[in-house]
């Protein structure tokens, strides 16, 4: 118990940096190579930021900007829209081994009324490790059960979850059953049909039928779970469905059609490329599983995880990258490098950037304000000394969320400075 208490005190001691104040002075960024996030680039850009919004983005060779309060020279540097991490549990778990700091799932099978945003901790130390790599927004999503709960989208520089919200209750997460079961371990797996698959699908359909009947009928007796399903039919909420295999994804398409669901997104979707045409025809997007992963089958192309996004993009499917899985919160900082890997395996660099910017914003329904550097959108962006999709060169010098210049300090940067000073001091002593 003493050890756990010490761990909690340690993490509290290194809490997140103080959130930046609201923008009050206009800012002009000049000379940078602007990657707009929509596939376009401006080599010698001028970007005006006023009252938290992008007043204009233009070619510095074609226009002379007006007077601003603050000027930032980005010559030789690169400017990007803030990256977005979908299907994330940032802020829901701090220390995996400490149950009191783990709030990513609830008991029960059908929990659409469980709102992950309530448990979101803005002072998570892990969150501040993602910001220095350009991740400024995240979809905070629940785990567990058949219907896990409702997600919300936040910006990662806030005092509390109320201040952090970008879009509240944006979608419901459903864990689709698998059509087979696996046992026997990784070395000698035994794959068998899931005998309860049809029964599990029926349970899902019954729940949707019952919730629709409630929402269209007498609501004198309030049901919070069914109330949380409101919005799926009219498209004001998305339905995010965790699924991997071809058979399950085909069944999801039929489910979408039967229930007249406008906005459905496959989460994971490792074998979605096998039915890409079907997904395109039915306007179903994909949040593709972590790119830096091993193949799922021993007899498939070992490089498939790297190529997967390109196959889907080439088929016209709206694709973005997600990061769920082992050590998912700590791995969030690697999101831009997943996009970089996709670029290395065939997707043009600016199109790969869209996998973590505008495509993600479109899927999450926040593209009117985020995801690209365009006039009228939120000034959520950063300046990097190099290629933000390359871990060797992505060194961020300035960063903004809604026009507020945020701190890029973290526990890691504090340690770096501390020990850099220590070894510098020791070196001077040896020289003397």
pLDDT in tens, 141-196: 999 999 999 999 999 999 999 999 999 999 999 999 998 877 766 667 778 888 89
Q: What is the pLDDT of residue 4?
A: 46
Do 44 and 24 meet the contact criterion of CB atoms below 8 Å apart?
A: no
CA–CA distance, 208 with 213 (Å, rounded to integer): 9
Rounded to the nearest 10 degrees, the angle between the axes of helix 304-314 and helix 335-344 is 80
In the numeric block, the tokens 């089958």 are attached to 297
In whole angstroms, give the CA distance from residue 258 to residue 256.
Answer: 6
Q: Which of 329, 409, 330, 382 is nearest to 15 (CA)?
A: 409
Cα–Cα dist 16/256, whole Å: 41
pLDDT of residue 328: 85
On the CB side of 228, CA atoms within 13 Å amount to: 25
Distance separating alpha carbons of residues 340 and 106, to the nearest angstrom: 35
**Long-range contacts made by residues 388-391, C-beta under 8 angstroms, separation at least 24?**
388/35, 388/78, 388/80, 388/83, 388/133, 388/134, 388/336, 388/353, 389/336, 389/337, 389/339, 389/340, 389/343, 389/349, 389/352, 389/353, 390/337, 390/340, 391/334, 391/337, 391/340
Confidence (pLDDT) at 426: 64
pLDDT at 431: 67
Encode pLDDT of 78-131 as tens digits: 999 999 999 999 989 888 777 777 777 888 999 999 999 999 999 898 888 899
Cα 243 to its chain centre, rounded Å, is 17
Contact 146, 107 (CB under 8 A): no
CB distance 301 to 273 below 8 Å? no
- Residues in the chain, pLDDT under 70: 1-16, 184-187, 425-432
CB 160 within 8 A of CB 122: yes
For tokens 């010098």, the residue is 397
How confident is the model at residue 184, as a pLDDT? 67
The reported pTM is 0.91
Bridge partners of 268, per DSSP, are 243, 288
376-413 as b/e, with b when 16 or more CB fall inside 10 Å? ebbbbbbbbeebbbeeeebebebbbbbbbbbbbebbee
Identify the pLDDT of residue 102.
76
| 389 φψ region: left (φ > 0), alpha (ψ -120 to 50), beta (else) | alpha
Q: What's the half-sphere exposure (Cβ side, CA atoms, 13 Å) at 352?
A: 24
Q: Which pLDDT belongs to residue 3?
A: 47
| Domain locations along the chain | 18-80, 83-369
Give the pLDDT confidence score for residue 10 in this predicted structure.
Answer: 47
Neighbours of 225 (CB within 10 A): 17
| CATH T-level topology, domain 18-80 | Urease, subunit C; domain 1 (2.30.40)
Burial of 114 (0-12, 13-18, 19+ CB in 10 A): buried
Query: Which option is the CATH number for 83-369: 3.70.10.10, 3.20.20.140, 3.40.50.2300, 3.90.1170.50?
Result: 3.20.20.140
């Amino acid at each position: 118990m003493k050890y756990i208490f010490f761990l909690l005190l340690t993490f509290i001691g290194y809490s997140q940096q103080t959130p930046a104040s609201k923008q009050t002075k206009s800012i002009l960024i000049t000379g940078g190579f602007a990657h707009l996030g929509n596939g376009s680039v401006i080599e010698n850009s001028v970007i005006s930021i006023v009252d938290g919004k992008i007043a204009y983005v233009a070619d510095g060779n074609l226009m002379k900007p007006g007077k601003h309060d603050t000027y930032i020279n980005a010559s030789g540097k690169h400017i990007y829209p803030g990256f977005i991490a979908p299907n994330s549990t940032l802020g829901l778990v701090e220390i995996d081994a400490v149950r009191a700091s783990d709030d990513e799932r609830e008991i029960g099978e059908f929990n659409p009324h469980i709102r992950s945003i309530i448990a979101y901790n803005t002072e998570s130390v892990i969150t501040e490790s993602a910001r220095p790599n350009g991740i400024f927004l995240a979809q905070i999503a629940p785990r567990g059960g058949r219907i896990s709960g409702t997600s919300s989208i936040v910006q990662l520089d806030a005092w509390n979850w109320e201040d952090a919200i970008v879009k509240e209750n944006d979608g419901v997460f459903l864990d689709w059953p698998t059509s087979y079961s696996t046992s026997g371990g990784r070395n000698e797996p035994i794959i068998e049909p899931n005998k309860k698959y049809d029964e599990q699908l029926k349970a899902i359909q019954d729940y949707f039928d019952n919730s629709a009947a409630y929402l269209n009928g007498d609501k004198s007796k309030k049901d919070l779970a069914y109330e949380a399903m409101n919005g799926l039919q009219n498209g004001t909420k998305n339905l995010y469905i965790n699924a991997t295999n071809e058979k399950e994804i085909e069944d999801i398409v039929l489910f979408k059609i039967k229930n007249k669901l406008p906005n459905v997104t496959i989460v994971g979707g490792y074998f979605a490329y096998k039915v890409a045409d079907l997904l395109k025809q039915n306007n179903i997007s994909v949040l593709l599983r972590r790119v830096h992963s091993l193949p799922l089958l021993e007899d498939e192309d070992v490089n498939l995880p790297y190529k997967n996004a390109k196959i889907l993009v080439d088929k016209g499917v709206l694709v973005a990258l997600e990061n769920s899985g082992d050590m998912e919160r700590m791995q969030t900082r690697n999101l831009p490098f997943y996009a970089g890997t996709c670029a290395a395996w065939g997707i043009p660099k600016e199109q790969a950037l869209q996998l973590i910017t505008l495509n993600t914003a479109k899927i999450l329904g926040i593209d009117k304000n985020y995801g690209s550097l365009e006039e009228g959108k939120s000034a959520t962006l950063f300046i990097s000394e190099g290629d933000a999709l390359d871990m060797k060169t992505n060194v961020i010098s300035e960063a903004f969320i809604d026009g507020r210049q945020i701190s890029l300090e973290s526990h890691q940067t504090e340690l770096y400075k501390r020990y850099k000073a220590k070894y510098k001091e020791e070196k001077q002593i040896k020289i003397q």
